[in-house]
Structure 1
Amino acid sequence: MQIGFVIFPKLTQLDFTGPLQVLARLPGATLHVVAKTLQPVASDSVLMLMPTTTFADCPTLDLLCIPGGFGVDQAMEDEETMAFVRRQSAAAKYVTSVCTGAFILGAAGLLRGRKATTHWAYHHLLPRVGAIPVKERVVRDGNRFTGGGVTAGIDFALTLMAEIAGPDIAQAVQLSIEYDPHPPFNSGSPRVAQQAVKEVVDERYAARLGTFEAVLSRVRQDPGA
């Protein structure tokens, strides 16, 4: 199985590295880190990411995965990136995203009329790209798999692992990476976070959402492929 992760400047590295760590253990899989060039790609933190292939040289993928992050804005308006996503999605058995990567799929016309999820702060904007919002950590609609925000990428990847290789393999991988989360606070979702905590985060996203909506208004949603 050929698995490709599309990377772009200012992506959230855990959207990418979480699923990568899981799917790297899929028996028989070959993983590709795909970008416009082979130059290092800056994430939204100090980590620099190294592509293994370019859009031009990437083989036909069986599984296409798009991470999210603040760089989604520019990626949605980048013709080369969107052309690659449309081209690869036409042949891929699984077309997938993590966090706000869903909006890249949506901007490519690949979520029109499909159930999908994304980061909770952007969830209400999914209809803007033709998707049907579902508030779940992982959502499947046909061959489209979408994951919620950031850490949901691990749940997302284990769900894909079970689909592709079966639940026994997926559970073995979960055990091997000791994925047994017990967070110190019950604040990982707006459903359970204290109001004061949610207000702090809402304020952080307020300006960002305005910018993001402006980008969505400019994006032409075209299945193209």
Structure 2
Amino acid sequence: MDIVFVLFDNVTQLDFTGPVQFLSRLPGATVHVVTKDGEAVTTDCGFDILPRSSFAECPQAEILCVPGGHGVREAIADTAIVDFVRQQAKGAEYITSICTGAFILGAAGLLQGKQATCHWAYTQLLPLFGATHQPARVVRDGNLITAGGVTSGIDFALELIAAIAGEEMARTIQLALEYDPAPPFGGGSLARSSDEIVGNLRARVYDKAASEMKIAIQNII
């Protein structure tokens, strides 16, 4: 089973490294980490990721995964990236995204008429691509699976493993990687965070980021 992760500059590394750690344990899986030219891409954590190959060298994906990050603003305007995702999606058994990677799927025309999700700060932008936001951590609509922000990529990976190889396999991989979240604080979602924390975070980061993402989307539609 060929699993293709499409990377680009300024990707959020955990969008990618979370699900790839789990999906790589799927029996029979071969992971292909690809970039447009086969060169390393930057991450939002200050280090680079070296891919396995370029788009031209990549086989047809059975599972196509597109992570997010602030680099999505540039990626959706890059015809090489969007065209690659569109072409791969035609033959993929599962088309998936994590966080704002959903907007790359949207730019490729893959969200039209679909239920979908992404990071909570950007969900209001999904209708720009013809999608309806479904408030869930992982949303499946046919062979399209979209995950919310960053860490939800791990939950998405486990759901996909269960769909492909059964719940026992998913539980086995979950145990092998000791995924048993017990955060020291409540929160982590809008519903469980205080209005003060949400407001401060929006004002400091996400009001500007969402506005810039909206402009980037409007420039291509």
For this structure pair, what is the TM-score category when the shorter chain's length is used for normalisation?
over 0.9
Identity of aligned residues (%): 50
CA RMSD of superposed structures (Å): 0.7
Report what 2:78 is aligned to: 78
Structure-2 separation of matches of 1:135 and 1:124:
11
Q: Which residue pairs with 2:145 in the alignment? A: 145
Task: Quote the residue 1:217 is aligned against.
Answer: 218
Query: Does the Cα contact within 8 Å between 1:65 and 1:95 map onto a contact in 2?
Result: yes
Structure 2 letter corresponding to 1:189: S
The residue that corresponds to 1:223 in the other structure is: none
Q: Does structure 2 retain, via aligned residues, the 8 Å contact 1:2–1:32?
A: yes
Instruction: Give the AA of the match of 1:96.
Output: T
Q: Distance in 2 between matches of 1:47 and 1:23?
A: 23
The ranges of structure 1 where at least 4 consecutive aligned residues each deviate by more than 4 angstroms after the TM superposition are none
Contact 1:124 1:133 in 2 (8 A): yes
Query: What TM-score, normalized to structure 1?
Result: 0.96
Question: Any conservation in 2 of the 1:61–1:88 contact (CA below 8 Å)?
Answer: yes
1:8-47 equivalence runs, <5 A: 8-47=8-47
2:164 counterpart residue number? 164
Superimposed CA distance per residue, residues 47-104 of structure 1 (whole angstroms, 9 cap, x where no aligned partner): 2101101111101110100000000011100010011000000000000000000111
The 3-state SS of whatever aligns with 1:81 is helix
Aligned-partner Cα distance in 2 for 1:47–1:15 = 15
Q: Partners in 2 of 1:149 and 1:213 — Cα distance?
A: 17
1:195 aligns with 2:195: yes
Shift of 1:132: 1.0
1:55-204 matched pairs, under 5 angstroms: 55-203=55-203, 204=205
Q: How many residues align?
A: 220
Q: Deviations over 1:11-68 (max 9, x none)?
A: 1000000000000100001000010122211111122101101111101110100000
Amino acid paired to 1:103: F
Q: Is 1:52–2:52 an aligned residue pair?
A: yes
In the alignment, which residue of structure 2 is the partner of 1:205?
206
Contact 1:117–1:135 (Cα < 8 Å) also in 2: yes
TM-score, normalising length: structure 2: 0.98
